Structure formats: structure tokens, C-alpha cells
């Protein structure tokens, strides 16, 4: 995501989340990924919401010709659950993405999350870094 249009993208994604009756708590990212903290309502699955976010935001990016080539999100996503007492710290983490990624790549960050949450994974199924 380019700095010239990423804030518009975040507003668009926030609208998708609100239109699905969820609560947007924080959104931010860097050039190759987005972090979103959402208060999820139980009537919709996370996979349904992510499908809506990815489909609609990809279409919006392409319709607005923000990239020189066809844009699409990579397959998959990561979703992690936090308690109410952790929300402020998670929101701060999301707000400071640029600082975090001066120290580690998205792949390193993602693997750290998987390990922190004790999620078994196979390295060959971890996404490819494109940027």
C-alpha cells in the first residue's frame, strides 16, 4: 500500500467492517500488510468478514487504479483473539506499525505471533514476501 492512498484504504476497510455490524478498534499497516483490531459480533464468522474485506477492498483499489498492475491480497490471513484487558496494548501495537517494521519483517512478525499463540505451522505454508 502506498502512503498516498493507504489512509483512504483504511477508511474503506473500516466502512466494510461497520457495514457488517462489527466495531473497528484500530487499523494500520505498512506497504505489504494491514493489522486490524475488530470487536467481532458472533453472527458472522471471521472467514466471512475477511472474505468481504479482501474482495471489496481489492475491487476498490483496482477501480481507483491505485496500482499499475491488478491488485489482489495474498491467500489467507491471521486472526488472533485478545481479552478486553489487552485491547489498549494491541491498539498501540497496531498504531506503531512503522516503528515495529524497522526492526523485523512481516514474516518474522507473523511467525512470532504463531509461536506466541502456540499455533503449529509448517514453514512451507507461510506466505511469500513479495515486497
Q: What is d(CA 113, CA 79) in angstroms, rounded to the nearest whole number?
A: 10
- What's the pLDDT at 102? 79
Helix (H, G, I), strand (E, B) or coil at 26: strand
- What's the pLDDT at 110? 83
The string over 80-100, giving b where at least 16 C-beta atoms fall within 10 Å of a residue's C-beta and e elsewhere, is: eeeeeeeeeebbebbeebeee
Q: What is d(CA 58, CA 73) in angstroms, rounded to the nearest whole number?
A: 7
Domains present along the chain, CATH in parentheses: 6-125 (3.30.70.1290)
Go through the chain and tell me how many residues it has: 131
N-to-C CA span, the chain:
10
- What's the pLDDT at 126? 77
- What's the pLDDT at 128? 64
Helix (H, G, I), strand (E, B) or coil at 87: helix
Q: CB burial class (10 A; 0-12, 13-18, 19+) of residue 102?
A: exposed
- What's the pLDDT at 130? 54
Query: One digit per residue, pLDDT tens: the chain, 131 residues?
Result: 788 999 999 999 999 999 999 999 999 998 888 999 999 999 999 999 999 999 999 999 999 999 999 999 988 898 999 999 999 999 999 999 888 777 888 788 888 888 988 989 888 777 665 54
- Extract the C-alpha cell encoding 9: 484504504
Strand partners, 28: 35
- What's the pLDDT at 5? 94
Amino acid at each position: 500500500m502506498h502512503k498516498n492512498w493507504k489512509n483512504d484504504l483504511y477508511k474503506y476497510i473500516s466502512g466494510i467492517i461497520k457495514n457488517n455490524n462489527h466495531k473497528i478498534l484500530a487499523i494500520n499497516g505498512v506497504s505489504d500488510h494491514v493489522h486490524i483490531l475488530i470487536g467481532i459480533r458472533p453472527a458472522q464468522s471471521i472467514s466471512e468478514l475477511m472474505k468481504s474485506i479482501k474482495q471489496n477492498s481489492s475491487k476498490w483499489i483496482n477501480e481507483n487504479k491505485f496500482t499499475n498492475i491488478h491488485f489482489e491480497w495474498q491467500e489467507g490471513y491471521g486472526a488472533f483473539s485478545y481479552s478486553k484487558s489487552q485491547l489498549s496494548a494491541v491498539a498501540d501495537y497496531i498504531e506503531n506499525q512503522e516503528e515495529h517494521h524497522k526492526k523485523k519483517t512481516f514474516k518474522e512478525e507473523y511467525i512470532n505471533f504463531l509461536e506466541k499463540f502456540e499455533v503449529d505451522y509448517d514453514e512451507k505454508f507461510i506466505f511469500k514476501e513479495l515486497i
